[in-house]
Amino acid sequence: MSTGQPDKVPNLIAQIEAFDRAECLDRWKVMFGRPPPKHLSPQFMKRVLIWEIQNSALGGVSAKTKRRLNQIASGKVVPTTAKPGSHLVREWNGRTYQVEVKDGAYVMDGKSWRSLSALAKHITGAHWSGPRFFGVQ
């Protein structure tokens, strides 16, 4: 069902959204050449199928993104860093926390922290990898 025609994407998305489980399984086999992993919900399969349609129609992902995804999939994640001026947002137990990255510090609610891990411990009360907690690793 790959298409290089962006104008057809909305119709294809509407078709996929109306699929039942059997149709999702069939389309998955056509699109990926194999059945999906067991126990995937129809909603998840629809999301993947729609993403693939959009990806195909709009030209795919960049080589840099492919490399990063392959690193993540292989478990060889290269740590990323948050640059000064960045804002990190994390929801935890129903509250949204916003952190501003400064040179050598992380600022939340007007208070500075020397590390993301210390900040994550302050928020959760438990030891966390700060970069992992805030999604920058």
* Regions of the chain where pLDDT drops below 50: 1-2
Q: What is the pLDDT of residue 80?
A: 63
Q: What is the pLDDT of residue 15?
A: 95
Cross-strand pairs, 108: 111
Rounded to whole angstroms, the Cα distance separating 24 from 41 reads 9
Q: What is the pLDDT of residue 2?
A: 45
In Å, how far are 20, 21, 106, 120 from 98, measured between CA atoms? 40, 39, 10, 12
pTM above 0.75? no
